[in-house]
Structure 1
């Protein structure tokens, strides 16, 4: 694992595209998923892990009841992974984590909360191709057959449940998949999800055993206002990433924060 602490916007941009050049394509095509956190001390714990100490025992109950009560929203014949994606997207505690293909979207989440501008932020950069090298053959063959680097929910139909995923992946493994384009939020955030084959194993713990698979970029708190202003100028903001009145309200609330909360 490589940890970089940047000191300027230009240094940050260079860090994002480190190892992005792909010679066989003659293009800048990084194979990284990005996750931005406003506090560098935060870990990659899932919403399920944060729910309760006995969260592993709650996972099946949560998903079963979500499917039972959401049957009018999602077609019954959709795959398990489609249901799981919808549940995560709408706030159900799951073992999934939200990621993005866009470093700029990740930066938004580092700088969206003004209350945390006194803390250093972090961007986790995970090489999903490196992560997928540790998958069992039946899953790596699925990627190779499609010529893909990340999964879709359709490609995961061969794994009909998390229990089966846990059984197939022994020792524990992780994978990244793109959710279905359920709404504009998924599309605009250039979203993908990660999942680990254990409800009790955090992705940061798994990555700690595979340090070649990721790096971290530390964002000094003194740099956050400059980043926030430049993202707003580039139209990377709540109004775009959360289409609708909720996102508009979040954007306006931040635009009109009291002057004593803004930088001198």
Structure 2
């Protein structure tokens, strides 16, 4: 794709990942959010869309029953964005998609499964400032009034249902980005941001690749040849499951991967290096 940036080595990858221009306040603050994928051939399908062709018909029953079966006090708000974020956080298929404001966190997720280390991965990068400019006026004015980078769930709390959200601008597609509430350390440490479109079947990849949206996106390829180097250097920087999934589950996932055979799958013995001895 003509949006692709292909680094020749690890250093070029680093430069592409942190190609951040100075702001008017002379700060290096990126307008991008990032999503890492293990295989560059993967698109930007939501967990709901991955359910299959009946995704649109099951969206409302899924969310309705998730809310119905929740225990006392487990649903703290009736705002749609809060409920979608909560459902996504707990693994329910939804129309929202996970992103991060942290480039290295996106790189971690692109390199979290060694089964995909034999193929090129990618980091999708979307310019939120550009996406914001083409939002429907109804919600663009809210974001502008708050002088905010992305929405919070409180800014759009008047939208209580999927139907009401889908009617914001029925003639035009758009994508908005919002920060989920800080439900736990996982969301905080991952620098989580969620994307949302006005319809369960809308394809984010198709939307951002339209000619009129060409300024919204770039994609940094992670060549298979540098995946192991990048993975080990992320671990050295403490960007791992242990930090991104606080608790014993994340620690166990990190250790399982850390003590794997690595690129030398035929080696007879694993010899860990300090400090993980």
Query: For this structure pair, what is the TM-score category when the shorter chain's length is used for normalisation?
Result: over 0.9
Aligned partners of 1:46 and 1:96 also within 8 Å:
yes
Task: Classify 1:239/1:166 alpha carbon distance in 2 versus 1 (closer, same or farther; 3 Å).
Answer: same
TM-score (norm: length of structure 2): 0.91
TM-score (norm: length of structure 1): 0.95
Q: Counterparts of 1:114 and 1:75 in 2: how far apart (Å)?
A: 36
Aligned partners of 1:96 and 1:193 also within 8 Å:
yes
Q: How much has 1:202 moved relative to structure 2?
A: 1.4
Q: What SS does structure 2 have at the residue aligned with 1:124?
A: strand
Task: Classify 1:222/1:262 alpha carbon distance in 2 versus 1 (closer, same or farther; 3 Å).
Answer: farther
Q: Counterparts of 2:150 and 2:71 in 1: how far apart (Å)?
A: 28
Q: How much has 1:76 moved relative to structure 2?
A: 5.4
Q: What SS does structure 1 have at the residue aligned with 2:239?
A: coil
CA deviation vs aligned residue, 1:193-249 (integer Å, no higher than 9, x gap): 001111111110111111210000011001001101110000000000011111111
Task: Classify 1:262/1:6 alpha carbon distance in 2 versus 1 (closer, same or farther; 3 Å).
Answer: farther
Q: Does 1:213 align with 2:224?
A: no
Aligned partners of 2:80 and 2:157 also within 8 Å:
yes
Count of aligned pairs? 262
Task: Classify 1:76/1:104 alpha carbon distance in 2 versus 1 (closer, same or farther; 3 Å).
Answer: closer
Counterpart in the other structure of 1:47: 47
Return 5+ residue gaps in structure 2 as ranges.
268-277
Max Rg structure: 2
Return 5+ residue gaps in structure 1 as ranges.
none
Counterpart in the other structure of 2:174: 173
Aligned partners of 1:31 and 1:128 also within 8 Å:
yes
> Over the residues paired in the alignment, what is the CA RMSD in angstroms?
1.5
Q: What SS does structure 1 have at the residue aligned with 2:167?
A: helix
Consecutive aligned runs of 4 or more in structure 1 exceeding 6 Å deviation: none
